[in-house]
Amino acid sequence: MKVILAKSILKANDDVAKRNRETLDRCKVKAVNLISSPGAGKTTLLEKVLELCKGKAAVGVIEGDIATTRDAERIAAKSVPVVQINTQGACHLDARMVEKALLELPLEQLDLVVIENVGNLVCPASFDLGDHEKIALLSVTEGDDKAAKYPRVFDAATAVIITKADLLPYTDFDLDSCVKELLQIKPQLKVFVTSAKAGSGLVELVNWLQAR
Amino acid sequence: MHELSLIHGLLELITASAKVHDIKQVSLIRLVVGEYYGALPEALNFAFEAVTRDTICEGAVLELVATAGRELYVDYYEGD
């Protein structure tokens, strides 16, 4: 017997993602999905953003890593609710993992949930988590050609945060050409140039997040 | 690496549909994969073999159709 299906194999994930988004909407919580390669500075940036949000917005964090609770420990030190997901080898978070993590967060008391995806510039872009937007990070030490080489993740994002801008003088990173290539991939992308170390660009980022 | 997750999704989809149609053994699955997903045929086949062991899809032929777009769906499958 031949059965015509014509159904997406991501449907199971997408159904759970939709449910996650409904849960978040019901609790009036906004969720952002942070995606970057390993070492781009997601956790360090998040630490600084959490400091700036203190007293302005209640933020919860979901940390995704293949192993260890190191990132969750760093975030917990900022006195915000945090859940660590260990993917046991999987290279991305999926909607089911996030569904379980959301149960552990006091959603009724939160304004924003930040989901820090597994460090990977390829796979996380395929899996909807139920977030409201994806934000991609790109550090200057990775090189200015990454947007052109990994266009999909930047195409899926609403904003790109260029991190470690304090290192610009020490690298060949061409900021103008990088931004140009990002906007070629997606003209409506919002681009932030930040340095967690120098504290630059962070207020703009937090204001933008709050406005959304 | 995400090929494994994609094949898990595929197996879930086929298993649910096969139950409805009372199919006990699947012999062929035609999967359309857009370039957008960056899924490698070798990795998909490898994951398919590993994931379908001891399931109704064990031994089935996975027919991959590569497209340039954002498609990622099971076109059809065959079984008894």
Task: Please report the pLDDT score of residue B36 as a whole number.
Answer: 84
Degrees, nearest 5: CA angle B73-B77-B79: 160
**Using one digit for the tens of pLDDT, what is the confidence trace for A130-160?**
999 999 999 999 999 999 999 989 999 999 9
A188 touching B (Cβ < 8 Å): no
Q: What is the mean pLDDT of residues A108-122?
A: 95
| Residue A97 burial (C-beta neighbours within 10 Å; 0-12, 13-18, 19+) | buried
Residue range A18-72, pLDDT digits in tens:
999 999 999 999 999 999 999 999 999 999 999 999 999 999 999 999 999 999 9
Nearest alpha-carbon partner for B27 in B18, B40, B19, B38: B18
Is B5 close to A3, i.e. CB distance below 8 A? no
pLDDT value, residue B2: 84
Give the CATH number of the domain where residue B21 resides: 3.30.2320.50
- According to the model, what pLDDT value does residue A129 have? 97
Q: How far apart are CA A96 and CA A12, in angstroms?
A: 9
Q: How far apart are CA A99 and CA A16, in angstroms?
A: 7
Which tokens belong to B56? 């109704």
What is the predicted ipTM? 0.91
The region, left, alpha or beta by phi > 0 then psi within -120 to 50, assigned to residue A18 is: alpha
Global confidence as pTM: 0.89
Closest partner CB to A13 (pick from B9, B37, B75): B9
pLDDT, one tens digit per residue, over B14-24 is 999 999 999 99
Q: Is B78's CB within 8 Å of A13's CB?
A: no
Arithmetic mean of pLDDT, A99-127: 95
Between CA A134 and CA A141 the distance in angstroms is 22
pLDDT number for residue A49: 96
Task: Report the C-alpha gap between B33 and B39 in whole angstroms.
Answer: 8
So what's the pLDDT on residue A23?
A: 98
Query: What is residue A195's DSSP assignment?
Result: B
Set of chain B residues whose Cβ sits within 8 Å of the Cβ of A118: none
Residue where the block lists tokens 């200057």:
A140
Secondary element (H or E) of residue B74 = strand B72-79
A174 pLDDT higher than 70: yes
Put simply, the answer to whether A92 touches B5 (Cβ < 8 Å) is: yes
Q: Give the residues of chain B that fall short of pLDDT 50.
A: none
DSSP of A53-84, one letter per residue?
HTTT--EEEEEEESS-SHHHHHHHTTT--EEE
Say what the pLDDT of residue B38 is: 83
Three-state SS for A5?
A: strand
Residue-number span of the structural domain to which B8 is assigned: 2-79
E strand residue ranges, chain A = 2-8, 30-35, 59-65, 82-86, 112-116, 133-139, 159-163, 190-193
pLDDT value, residue A88: 86
**Which residues of chain A neighbour B1 with C-beta distances below 8 Å?**
90-91, 123
Alpha carbons A211 and A189: distance in angstroms, whole number: 16
CA–CA dist A4, B16 (Å, integer): 14
Q: Give the residue-averaged pLDDT of A118-133.
A: 93
Q: Provide the mean pLDDT of chain A.
A: 95
Q: Evaluate if residue A128 carries a pLDDT over 70.
A: yes
The total domain count for chain B is 1
Task: Give how far the C-alpha of residue A50 lies from the chain's centroid of Cα atoms, to the nearest Å.
Answer: 14
- Cβ A13 vs Cβ A94: under 8 Å: yes
